[in-house]
Structure 1
Amino acid sequence: MYETIHSPLNYGGLTLKNRIIFAPTSLGLPREEMLERLRRIAAGGCAMIIIGDVPVLPHGFGPSLYTSKGQKFYREIADTVHEQGCLLCAQLHQSDSDLKGMIRYIPGVLTKRLSMEELRPLLNQQVGPYITGLPEKKIARITQVFGTAAELAVQAGFDMVQVHGDRMCGSFSSSLFNHRTDRYGGSPENRARFAVEAVSAIRRRLPELPIDYKLAVRQENPHYGNAGVLESELPVFVPLLEQAGVTSFHVTLADHGELSDTIPPKKHPEFGQEGCFLKFCDEVRNLTLLPICGVGGLTDPDFIEQQLASGRIDCAAMSRQLTADPDWPNKVFSGHAGEIHRCARCNKECLGGMMAHRGVHCIYERKETK
């Protein structure tokens, strides 16, 4: 039972011991608590952990790959995860926030008068003008530094990199944000150029490194997501990214809307079902033979086994479920699937904790401490 979940996979040149991946997540936890959380998830049996939002520029938000302190931090994560027989992937991230425009909001954030939920739409309003107005020389510098960041990630102990196809890559991809009239704007081919150049920069520096791409898909009718790639544009973007050097795709809904759309609760009007974003994987599957990782409300071992066995997806990524129960893989593999703490998709302590600056937690943790 659950033979496919338990089976190894060649994921773009990297051998995964099974098909379960911890999806990239901004945990928002203190250092020691974060290390222990990642240790527990790795010990629980998943094949790989993706560390979300690793900045590609020296002065991005979060621990820097360019400093000895940042290298030490990421090396400690790598050692902690590897000791449990789990692989580690760095999600290389470039913010599309206008730093000058953000300054006015910093006091409110620091004093917690301004919540993340309130800050998000204010920042999103600035994305279009910022992306449209970036000078070409600065664009070239940013795309090239993806290669430098990937080299530094490997030095820190990461086994793989994922290019964050939302944020700046996704905003350049989106006709809603990208109003440029030069070679980075207009046609889908031009709007794909930023992402293609970022991937190409990594491939030139590291010819053998597996490169995952978080492919953020924008849906219309009804409209969800503002960054990323329209479903109708996937036949343009997927081949270009593959030619640039992408070795696998992590497919999900585009961001820059409500966080409760990209992290949907069970009561969500469009994405409340199990495997809510797998329909986007179906469209990508028709365009490539590369491995595809599905994500979105995945909790049920029987459902996941069916999707994997059918070839609909090659891997299943989870964040909330492995936060609710890090031992999900081991319980499934040992015949104790009935003992899993199933994620209720309530978003109370995971998304809610993040938005309230408490970090990502779970209602089960609260119950266990009573």
Structure 2
Amino acid sequence: MYESLFQPLTVRGLTLKNRIVFAPTSMGLKSGDFLAHIDRIARGGAGLIVIGDVPVLPSPMFSLYTPEGLDFYRQITQTAHAGGAKISAQLHMSDSDVQGLQRYLPDLRAGRITPDNLRRKLNDMTGDFITGLPVERIQTIIDGFGQAAILARDAGFDMIQIHGDRMCGSFSSSIYNHRADAYGGSPENRARFAVSCVQAVRRAVPDMPIEYKLAVRQEDPHYGNAGILTDELPVFVPLLDAAGVDCYEVALANHGALTDTIPPHNHPYFSEPGCFLKFCDLVRPLTNRPLCGVGGLGDPDFAAAQVDSGRVDYIALSRPLIADPDWPRLVQNGQTDQIFRCVRCNRACLGGMQQHQGTHCVFDEKRRAARGE
């Protein structure tokens, strides 16, 4: 019944043992706890793990550009490989106005504004930041994508994912991009930054597969502010294909409420299983590249049906694998009745991240007790 989920998938010479991906997720865990989490996901049977928000340029965060950071990423890749999974680095370039952020830090520390309020303020500053970014800085960032890809390869990553939200998504969006030069105006020009980043990675690591996280913005009703308007996909997707993209993860664009891109079970619009698959349906006629679906795919029967039908080629799970890292193994063994299934409550996963307590699941203790973990 679930055979399609466990067929190998080969992308530019890299073979994934199955069609199940742990989606890039902000975990907020200490290094040791994070490595233990990667170990559990890998040993639970996921074919690919995507490590989110790997900085493109030198960063105060763990960075590929420092010996300590490179060593930590090597530990991550070695842990994933030891557990039987392939691993991808999601190259990320923030579109936050860091200098503009500084004026809000005293209010944040004093508790006068919440982290969520700060996030909204940063989103509000994105348009001016993207529109005013000097061309010389843009080129530095594009070059950084290529350099970061080389370092990621050296750290042991098997694949590169380019984060098509954040800076790539903001350049793509007419909401944020009001430039009057070659990077703004027409859809073709607004695609130029993302296309250039893909080209830089392809030149730097010609043999590595490149996945592009395709962030889609919709209207009627409006969701997502960065990313590509649905009507503009026929312009963007062929350009990204030609630049060197091998496969796509298709999702809703960000820069709105986190509960839109990580929708709970009672979301007013994205409450149904496979809530973002309609965006894959729009992309499918535009490319022959493999498509990864995401959003509400925790039910094995539903997920397998999407791959069986050819609607998507592989699936990305985040909350379902946080709820139960053994989801792939249990599905493959026909033990779906033993899965601790994500109920999309967002209490300890998104809630834990927002409260700086780390991303967890309300079922953690129950699952550990049942499995003797």
TM-score (norm 2): 0.97
Q: Within 1, Cα distance between the matches of 2:168 and 2:15?
A: 27
Partners of 1:12 and 1:291 within 8 A in 2 = no
RMSD over aligned Cα atoms:
1.3
Confirm or deny that 1:346 pairs with 2:340.
no
Note the residue ranges of structure 2 that are not aligned, 5 or more in a row. none
Partners of 1:115 and 1:356 within 8 A in 2 = no
In the other structure, the counterpart of 2:22 is 22
Confirm or deny that 1:100 pairs with 2:99.
yes
Partners of 2:340 and 2:367 within 8 A in 1 = no
Confirm or deny that 1:333 pairs with 2:350.
no
SS in 2 for 1:363: coil
Matches within 5 A, 1:94-133: 94-109=93-108, 114-133=113-132
Q: Within 2, Cα distance between the matches of 1:192 and 1:13?
A: 27
Partners of 1:218 and 1:229 within 8 A in 2 = yes
In the other structure, the counterpart of 1:209 is 208
In the other structure, the counterpart of 1:50 is 50
In the other structure, the counterpart of 1:62 is 61
Note the residue ranges of structure 1 that are not aligned, 5 or more in a row. none
SS in 2 for 1:100: helix
Q: Within 2, Cα distance between the matches of 1:113 and 1:250?
A: 37
Partners of 1:12 and 1:290 within 8 A in 2 = no
Q: Within 2, Cα distance between the matches of 1:176 and 1:334?
A: 47
In the other structure, the counterpart of 2:241 is 242
Partners of 1:163 and 1:212 within 8 A in 2 = yes
SS in 2 for 1:286: helix
In the other structure, the counterpart of 2:364 is 365
Q: Within 1, Cα distance between the matches of 2:333 and 2:111?
A: 44
Q: Within 2, Cα distance between the matches of 1:341 and 1:109?
A: 37
Partners of 2:324 and 2:367 within 8 A in 1 = no
Q: Within 2, Cα distance between the matches of 1:269 and 1:95?
A: 29
In the other structure, the counterpart of 1:219 is 218
In the other structure, the counterpart of 1:231 is 230
Offset at 1:110? Answer: 5.1
Offset at 1:115? Answer: 3.1
Matches within 5 A, 1:66-215: 66-109=65-108, 114-215=113-214
Identity %: 59
In the other structure, the counterpart of 1:266 is 265
User: Match for 1:200: what amino acid?
Assistant: Q
SS in 2 for 1:24: coil
Q: Within 2, Cα distance between the matches of 1:29 and 1:42?
A: 17
Number of equivalenced pairs:
369
Partners of 2:265 and 2:345 within 8 A in 1 = yes
Per-residue CA deviations over 1:216-239 (Å, capped at 9, x if unaligned) read 000100000000000000000000
Matches within 5 A, 1:273-312: 273-312=272-311
Q: Within 2, Cα distance between the matches of 1:110 and 1:282?
A: 44
User: Match for 2:89: what amino acid?
Assistant: A
